[in-house]
Amino acid sequence: TGFVGMALSYGLSLNMSFVFSIQNQCNLANQIISVERVNQYMDIQSEAAEVVEENRPSPDWPQDGNVELRDLKIRYRKDAPLVLHGITCRFEAGNKIGIVGRTGSGKTTLIGALFRLVEPADGKIIIDSVDISTIGLHDLRSRLGIIPQDPTLFQGTVRYNLDPLGQFSDQQIWEVRCTQI
Ligand SMILES: Nc1ncnc2c1ncn2[C@@H]1O[C@H](COP(=O)(O)OP(=O)(O)O)[C@@H](O)[C@H]1O
Ligand SMILES: [Mg+2]
């Protein structure tokens, strides 16, 4: 029985070493990955300018909401194939437009292009006679609205979720009504 006891106690301590060794390996892997990530983030190309001083849209732009696409071509990387192959069309202000197509046909890409999440390879998007590639990203993105497919609530109050940037007074928020349905 002494032999069995010894085997058990050695066996147990071996178990502990095993756990620690695995934990150490995981920690090491995680830390190496952090370095890899930082390295990756260092090489990200920055986006276009937030504000282009010499070409700012008027404060009430877009006045109507006419959206015109002219031969819009989009690819995600220089050597990647085109995702949108030269779309030309016009969305008249005040209309409700549905865009349909199978998965991967470029619906999300088109919406992304309106916000310049991806820049066109060719062609342009004109909203109320402003070519959106000529203005700053902040000016563009702050004037368009989007309701995403997945609802997202930020941690905090309902008021904060309605107006995360704190741009409006309580009175203004109470008075919000949907003007175009
Ligand atoms: N971030 C991305 N990088 C590279 N290719 C992408 C990216 N997003 C989408 N794509 C490609 O672009 C095409 C259109 O995708 P997407 O616009 O998401 O289509 P949809 O929204 O109509 O399903 C697909 O072939 C997809 O693989
Ligand atoms: Mg999509």
**Over the stretch 118-134, which tens digit does the pLDDT of each residue have?**
999 999 999 999 999 99
- Looking at residue 14, its pLDDT comes to 80
- Which ligand has the nearest atom to the CA of 112? 1
Residue 65 confidence (pLDDT) above 50: yes
The percent helix, strand, coil of the chain (3-state, each to 5) is: 40, 15, 50
Q: pLDDT class for 179, splitting at 50, 70, 90?
A: low
Average pLDDT over residues 44-57: 89
67-148 placed in CATH 3.40.50.800: no
What's the 104 CA to ligand 2 centre distance in angstroms?
Answer: 7
What are the φ and ψ backbone dihedral angles of 178, each rounded to 5 degrees? -70, 125
Nearest residue by C-alpha to atom 3 in ligand 1: 76
Q: CA 118, 119, 120: angle at the middle one, nearest 5?
A: 120
- Binning pLDDT at 50, 70 and 90, where does residue 181 land? very low
Pocket test for ligand 1, best of 76, 79, 99 (most atoms within 8 A of CB): 76
Its pTM stands at 0.72
Mutate to test the pocket of ligand 1, among 108, 115, 116, 118 (most ligand atoms within 8 A of CB): 108
Tell me: pLDDT of 149 over 80. Answer: no
The number of CA neighbours under 13 Å toward the Cβ of 46 is: 4
What ranges do the domains of the chain cover?
A: 1-44, 67-148
Poorest-pLDDT segment among 79-83, 92-96, 133-137, 171-175: 171-175
